[in-house]
């Protein structure tokens, strides 16, 4: 039976390209990209990606030969694009992709867009700018204060005095005053402090100073941060996958989640005694939304309002081998680097270098 043109078009919707192999978003990603299906075969010699379709058919993906471009891959070979010879494909699904010349990096943000800029410069939405100012250094396309320093209100960097907050742009669990961990309730569609259940799962919160969540920066009380919940919900539907931001619900509305960085709430965290911290807001305060045995939080006009939490550092990626090097003590005992313990010997709540200095 001979297929008509319309029938061929309909049949093509079932080819691997329609199953997520090709992702196109020119406005956001700068270049057309292909997400490589795990069943595809990459033929580097002939510059082709071959997709098998049944026993007798295969589909071939390659760059238009008249363009002079070559298939170029990200470092993990998961994404491909057509770039000019010598260019590198840089970026991620969370930011953008572009073909960058040697000596260039992909920099920018969602609100400004992303462009290739010379190493050490950044894209401000109009052009590539000069080197970072006020003592900041370039890390992953963002100007941040170097290790051992912290950002001040006027935007400059100052040396840490030894009284640092003890938390960084890493991942943490939040334990609330009622003894329960803070997490997303997939039945109520907001965050609360409740016991574990089929609809309530503890959150694993990544503290972020920028959209890319650049790791390793100290979080101080005057720093505006957004909080990304790395953890998904138990239902695992498309609306409740992980990597969602805590939103800015206010005036008694319970804080929930959003996929948009622009809609994320602006939080602050300030250090209290005995391992406790207080979760507040940068422009507003944060308080319990209403009296409840399983309370949730809301932003309030009282800028000094904050909600006490106990913060426990956890790995952002449970499968990373670097997790073996995160902890400086054995389970269930005090040791150098133990933070916030009221029962450990003197000095054991200090950072390791300070602990050694008092021994």
pTM, full prediction: 0.52
Domains of the chain: 1-100 (no CATH), 102-161 (no CATH), 165-326 (2.80.10.50), 327-359 (no CATH)
pLDDT digit string, tens, across residues 107-128: 888 778 889 998 878 888 888 8
The most confident of the ranges 29-38, 185-194, 306-315 is 306-315
Q: Residue 141 — pLDDT band, cuts 50, 70, 90?
A: low
Does residue 341 surpass a pLDDT of 50? no
Q: Which residue has the higher pLDDT, 278 or 13?
A: 278
Residue 61 makes CB contacts below 8 A (sequence gap 6+) with 17, 21, 22, 34, 40, 48, 49, 50, 51, 80
CA 184 vs CA 10, 102, 189, 293, 297: distances in Å: 40, 44, 7, 15, 12
Are the CB atoms for 206 and 243 separated by under 8 Å?
A: no
Are the CB atoms for 301 and 285 separated by under 8 Å?
A: yes
Lowest-pLDDT choice from 40-49, 275-284, 322-331: 322-331
């Amino acid at each position: 039976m001979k297929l008509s043109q319309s029938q061929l078009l309909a049949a093509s919707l079932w080819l691997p390209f329609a199953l997520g192999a090709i992702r196109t978003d020119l406005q956001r990603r700068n270049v057309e990209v292909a997400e490589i299906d795990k069943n595809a075969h990459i033929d580097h010699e002939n510059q082709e990606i071959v997709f098998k379709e049944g026993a007798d058919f295969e589909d071939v993906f390659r760059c238009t030969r008249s363009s002079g471009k070559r298939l170029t891959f990200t470092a993990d070979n998961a994404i491909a694009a057509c770039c000019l010879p010598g260019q590198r494909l840089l970026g991620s699904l969370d930011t953008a992709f572009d073909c960058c010349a040697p000596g260039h990096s992909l920099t920018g943000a969602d609100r400004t867009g992303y462009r290739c800029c010379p190493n050490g410069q950044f894209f401000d939405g109009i052009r590539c700018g000069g080197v970072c100012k006020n003592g900041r250094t370039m890390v992953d396309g963002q100007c941040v204060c170097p290790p051992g320093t912290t950002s001040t209100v006027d935007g400059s960097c100052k040396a840490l005095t030894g009284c640092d907050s003890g938390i960084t742009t890493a991942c943490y669990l939040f334990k609330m005053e009622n003894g329960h961990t803070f997490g997303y309730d997939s039945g109520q569609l907001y965050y609360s402090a409740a016991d574990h259940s089929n609809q309530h799962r503890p959150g694993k919160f990544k503290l972020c100073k920028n959209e890319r969540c650049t790791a390793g920066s100290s979080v101080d009380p005057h720093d505006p941060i957004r909080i990304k919940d790395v953890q998904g919900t138990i239902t695992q539907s498309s609306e409740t996958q992980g990597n969602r931001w805590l939103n800015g619900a206010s005036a008694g509305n319970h804080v929930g989640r959003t996929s948009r960085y622009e809609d994320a709430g602006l939080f602050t965290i300030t250090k209290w005694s005995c391992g406790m911290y207080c979760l507040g807001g940068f422009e507003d305060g944060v308080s319990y939304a209403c009296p409840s045995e399983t309370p949730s939080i809301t932003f309030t006009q009282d800028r000094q309002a904050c909600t006490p939490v106990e913060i426990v550092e956890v790995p952002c990626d449970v499968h990373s081998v670097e997790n073996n090097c995160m902890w400086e003590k054995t389970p269930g005992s005090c040791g150098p680097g133990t933070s916030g313990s009221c029962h450990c010997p003197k000095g054991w709540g200090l950072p390791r270098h300070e602990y050694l200095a008092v021994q």
